[in-house]
Amino acid sequence: MTLFQAIVTAVVGVFSEIFPVASGAHRSLLEYFFGWDVSNAKLIGATDLGLFLALAFSLRHDMLSHFSSFLQVILYRKKPMAMDERMPIFVLVAIVLPVVAFFFFRRLPVLPAENPYLFAGLLGLSGIPMAFLDGYTKKNKSIYDWNALDAALVGLGSAALAVPEIGRTAGAFTFSALRNYSREGAGKFILYVATPIAGISAWYHLRGPGSVLSVSEFPSLYYYSVVVVSTLAGVVAINVFLNQLKTVSLTRYAIYRALLAAAVLGFHFYRHSSGG
C-alpha cells in the first residue's frame, strides 16, 4: 500500500462512517474496484483514531456541557432533570448494544468479488427502510426529547455495525426515524454515540486484540499521516453532515447506496462478459 492509497482510504472511511452509506462496504469497494489492500488493522485503527479526535473536537462544547451537568448530578446527589444532565445516561444506554455487537457479533465483510449479489443486495436494500421512514414519519421530536427507550432503540440500530454492508449510521437513522425524530435531532445524538465507538474501535485495532491482524507493514509516516488526515477530514465531514441534515433527506443517501450496488453488479457483469 502506498501513502496515497492510505490517505484516500482514510478519507473515504471517515466520510462513509459519518454519513449513512456504510464505511465497511466502501473499504470493500476500494479493494474491488482498484485492487487496494485496505484490510490492515493499523490503517483502520488510525482512521478511527482520527475520527474519534474529530468528533471530540467538533462536539467539545456540547460534551463539556453534558459532562459538567452530569458531574453536578453525581456530586450533589440530585435527580437528573435537564437534558444536559440526562444526555450522558442516554448515550451510555445507546452504546451498550453496538459495543456488544462490535466485540461478539461482527462478521467478516461480504467481498463483492466473491459474492456480488449478496453484497449489492445488503448495501442497496438496507437503505430503503431508512428513506421510507424519513419520508413518512412525523419527525416531530428534537434533541430535547430523548429518553432511555429511544436511546436503546437507536443503540439497537447502531448495532448494524456488525454487518459492514449496512453500517452503524444507517441503522441508527432508521430507528430514530421510526421513533419520529427529526434528522437534526437524531443526527447529533448519533454523533454522540459514534464518539466512544470510534475510540473503542481505534483501541481494538491499534492496541487491542485486533492489532495482531496487522500482517502487512504500515510505516510510522503512514500512521501519523492517516491520523492527521482523518481528523481534518472528520471535522469537515461532521460540519457538512450537520448542515445537510437541515435540508437534505435521507432518501439521497439511499439512492447513493442503490447506485453503488448497481455499479457493483455492472462491474461484475462486465468482468464476467470480458472473461476477467
Encode pLDDT of 89-140 as tens digits.
999 999 999 999 999 999 889 999 999 999 999 999 999 999 999 999 989 9
pLDDT-derived band at 214, boundaries 50, 70, 90: low
Q: Which pLDDT tens digit goes with each residue over 47-87?
A: 999 999 999 999 999 999 999 998 998 988 888 888 999 99
Record the pTM: 0.95
Digit-coded pLDDT (tens) for 176-206: 999 999 999 999 999 999 999 999 999 999 9
Q: How many domains are contained in the chain?
A: 1
Confidence grade of residue 275 (pLDDT, cut at 50, 70, 90): low
Look at residues 66, 79, 102 and name the one whose alpha carbon lies nearest to residue 189: 66
d(CA 245, CA 242): 5
Task: Please give the average per-residue pLDDT across 146-152, as a whole number.
Answer: 96
Domain boundaries, position 114:
3-273
CA distance 178 to 134: 8
Please, are residues 28 and 46 in contact by the beta-carbon 8 Å criterion?
A: no
Residue 110 CA to residue 255 CA, distance in Å, equals 21
> Is residue 55 within 8 Å of residue 191, measured between CB atoms?
yes
Backbone angles phi, psi at 141, to 5 degrees: -105, 145
Amino acid at 83: M
pLDDT in tens, 5-45: 999 999 999 999 999 999 999 999 999 999 998 889 999 99
What span, in angstroms and rounded, lies between the C-alpha atoms of 205 and 202? 5
